[in-house]
Amino acid sequence: MFTNTARVILIGIFLVMGAFFSYEHIYELVAVTLLFVALVIWGYFKEGTVIMAAKRFHHKDYDKAESLLLQISNPVLLSKKRRGFYEFILGGISLQKQDYEAAERHYELAAQFPLRTANDHVAALVHVANISIRQGNYEKAKAYIQLANKQEENITAKMKEVIKKLEKELKQH
């Protein structure tokens, strides 16, 4: 839950502390500070700035959320749970920018990873189906709606209603 700048500062502080403890011959504390450095570096690769971006996204600060997500240089290295959230948030940001191709791509990726709840997973599927309908790709939309319907017992009534609306719209085509 740190920005990249905060991680660098924190690592610098731990390294200075480690050097001081080494000078004082307190090697147990040197080992602890090196462990903290390793933990911060591990967090950079596995956690990234996804949590902070999710908070910004929730507060509808899309520009800040996007800038936090862009700090992640290699999203492939994120843990599976964070990668799904990463793609889900980028899909939402792309929708806000009306970049439907990018939104579809991100939501498709998000649906491949575990998300917080079944409702979030179905929301990603529904977004792909909705975008596919708008682009005239009705077979793809139908496939994604079928995937969403498999989770019907785990989703909210509002999401069920959205799925029914999409199914109704599909029947018209």
**pLDDT (average), residues 117-125:** 88
Element (H, E) at 94: helix 80-96
Q: How much is the pLDDT for 2?
A: 84
Q: How much is the pLDDT for 78?
A: 93
Residues 20-53: tens digit of each pLDDT = 999 999 999 999 999 999 999 999 999 999 999 9
Q: Give the DSSP per-residue string, 40-72.
A: HHHHHHHTTTHHHHHHHHHTT-HHHHHHHHHT-
pLDDT band at 56 (very low <50, low <70, confident <90, very high): very high
pLDDT band at 118 (very low <50, low <70, confident <90, very high): confident
Neighbours of 133 (CB within 10 A): 20
Poorest-confidence range of 13-22, 57-66, 112-121?
112-121
Q: At residue 3, what is the residue type?
A: T
Q: How much is the pLDDT for 63?
A: 93
Residues 6+ apart with CB under 8 A from 16: none
pTM, to two decimals: 0.85
Contact 172, 132 (CB under 8 A): no
Helical axes 157-172 vs 138-149, angle rounded to 10°: 150
